Amino acid sequence: MHGIIYKKHSRLPWMTGGALLLGAWAMAMQAAPMATEATTGAPPAQASVRTEQGSALQFLGQAGGVVARIEVAGNRAFMGVGPRLLVVDITANVRPRVVYTSTLFSDLVRGIDYYDDRLYVARGDDGLLVFERDGLYGLSAKSSFPFIKGANDVASGPGHAYVVSEDGLHILDTSNDSEIREIGWLKSIAGGRIVPGPSRISVANGHAFIVAGDFLYVVDISPSTAPLVVGASRAYGFRSVVAIVDKSIVYSDGYHYDLEDGSSSVLDVLNMDNPSNPILIRGIGLSGLVRDIASKNDVIALALDNPLLPLFDARVSTDPLLTSEIPVKGGTRAVALTDDRRLLISPSDGGLDLYNIGTLARPISLHSMSLVGSARDVRMFGDWVFIAAGNRGLQVVNANVPEQPMLISSVSTSASVDYLDYWSHNVYASGAGTREVYIFDVLSQQEPTLMHTLLSRGNVTDVTASAGLLYVTSDAGAGTLEIFDVHDPANPQKLGSIAIRDARRVDVSGDYAVVISRTSVTILDVRDPLLPTAVGMVALPGIRCARLLNNVLYIGHRGTSGEFDSLAIYNIDTPQAPAQISDVVAEGLIPIMDIDIIGSNAFLLGTNQLYAFDVSDPTIPVANGAYGSLLQGNRVFGAGSRVVVADRFGGIYIFAATNPTSTPTPNNSPTRYKVIVPIAVDLASLIMR
């Protein structure tokens, strides 16, 4: 019972109906006038992936991602996995299996609802997509609503669907099988949004409950063409409200369950007999941030960001009783309940776990299904992709057919795996907040073997392997680089170390290593690994990443204008006096999360974009391709003719890349100019100035 602590509710009460409510909130929201002709959903089409297919970059395939939402209908679980929709067969007493995978969307699947053989999928900037059931497990796209930008969540019922997005509440008439159309729209006056931030929606008894930002709005939707806000509540002292109860039981004996999120969370029990005047019954304090909630058959399950998932007995709806807690490594991102009392859990970094909760006090684990999940770092060797999968450990993917990458194996670790490197059929992996560095033998990709766990002096911040040596940065002291001999990976030997303040990342090429901090890149002579020696430094504002190749140093850092990031290129033939060759400002690229080099191409990874530049002459980098539909890019790695991106929300993205035989040739003639990268849907051109 240590995961959840009951406490007295101490926040201010709900604002109620009357002059106070309407006076305060009529200024915040209003029903938008509808066009004379209703807006109708467009014919379904695969989401447009914003990309420029340059000569150095071509998208091939994608796999995995975090599970943002789960919806259950009978023996089917509909899962938003990164930028795709998956249908999983969860027939009782059978191991779950994926039976349907959608095309790739350009945004995260944010909301899912199923009603009367129709599936409604909110896809962020891709808008809403409506599917109809096709056979036992299949789906066929029926209508799309790309104009509903920033679609965060959806609820559906008899004759209508309700979509909450960045520009308000959209109401669709779904009663006509041949045509789904928009008939109502509730928008915000200020800023074109209901409120800032992610939003969720539940619908019951003629009202929609919209949770967004710091508020829960109660909207009367009985006039579907003119929805009206009739109540609102602010979560005082909390950052945002992120989830409310599952659509199927927004009311339970006249009570509504609402979640509020901040440094801690509170499960509120509210009397909603009068929606415009909700009455707080009690509040239950939670020791974690709430990400999702599921409620069915008198059971409430909460997805928290801490490693315990609480289950409540809600047979007495005014007094939910904490009955048990399920350990979930790294916390839970999405939950769902079935009619036959099974619980579906997706941990923070992906995958799917099933439990039998027939006896609520004693949940029984049934199955665990591995999926490519959150990708923190990535390496590729031949057709094999090795993924630092956070709390899922090390994952191995076969990309022989890059359009359909296949997860082959997963190896759990005691700590999160956030960065890794590959050398001589061994993977070296570690994570934030641990001193452990795991050494895996991956000669058999189907069964990676943990050969050794070495301990760094401090919490590891990065690992790099090269020529039988392992370089590990950590927070030991004010920052440290340690070097290990791993020619015998089962028996690594500590060689030398050096203190470097704020050591965050490390890269090695030839005789030199570079250690990256926030404000400098330190150049080390590592020809004698027993005595690494600092021989030079480059100081720049807001350094995020760096890559070293053939004495050419590429640094991603905050631009001098502060608006976009820059790529600075240095010649370190004389490491004591690094010579700047050029400085490229990529407008639209912020931040530069990572850099890698294949031949004469530099690949710059932003949060949502991957850009390619020909740097065969590093004084004059030439734009050479772009891809603009990542979810949250974290690391990029190139090998041969492939580039792989590790995306925290979207799993892995695989690209084809040209690999010219020429390599960057430095000179000492500095050039400063700007590269303009369009940020529109079609990244059509890059203009040199």
Domain ranges of the chain: 19-32+55-369, 377-599
Per-residue pLDDT, 240: 34
pTM for the predicted model, two decimal places:
0.86
Radius of gyration of the chain (CA): 27
Q: Write out the H or E segment, with its range, that includes residue 112.
A: strand 111-115
Helix (H) or strand (E) holding 21: helix 19-25
Between CA 489 and CA 270 the distance in angstroms is 59
Given this structure, which CATH class describes domain 377-599? mainly beta
pLDDT of residue 423: 95
**Contact assessment for residue 577 and residue 538, using Cβ atoms and an 8 Å cutoff:** no
| Residue with token string 């995020």 | 544
Which 3 state secondary structure label does DSSP give 276? Answer: coil
Predicted confidence at residue 40, as pLDDT, reads: 55
Given phi > 0 = left and psi -120 to 50 = alpha, else beta, which region is 237? Answer: left
pLDDT at 137: 78
Neighbours of 684 (CB within 10 A): 9
Rounded distance between C-alpha atoms, residue 111 and residue 288, angstroms? 22
Of 681, 589, 647, nearest to 61 (Cα)? 647
Cα torsion through 271, 225, 70, 46, rounded to 10: -170
The predicted pLDDT at position 235 comes to 55
Q: How many CA atoms lie within 13 A of 65 on its CB side?
A: 28
Residue type at 605 in one-letter notation: L
Contact between 389 and 397 under an 8 Å Cβ cutoff? The reply is no
Q: Do domains 19-32+55-369 and 377-599 have the same CATH topology?
A: yes
pLDDT along the chain (689 residues), means of 10: 30 32 34 40 41 71 95 95 96 93 93 94 93 85 90 93 90 92 75 49 83 75 90 52 34 41 62 72 77 86 91 83 95 94 96 96 96 96 96 96 96 95 96 96 93 96 97 96 97 97 96 96 97 96 94 90 84 96 80 92 93 90 88 95 96 85 43 32 26
Reference 350, options 34, 585, 649, 15; nearest CA is: 649
What is the distance between the alpha carbons of residues 550 and 572, in angstroms, rounded to a whole number?
A: 9
The pLDDT score that the predictor gives to residue 659 is 57
pLDDT at 571: 96
CATH 1.10.260.40 fits 19-32+55-369, yes or no: no
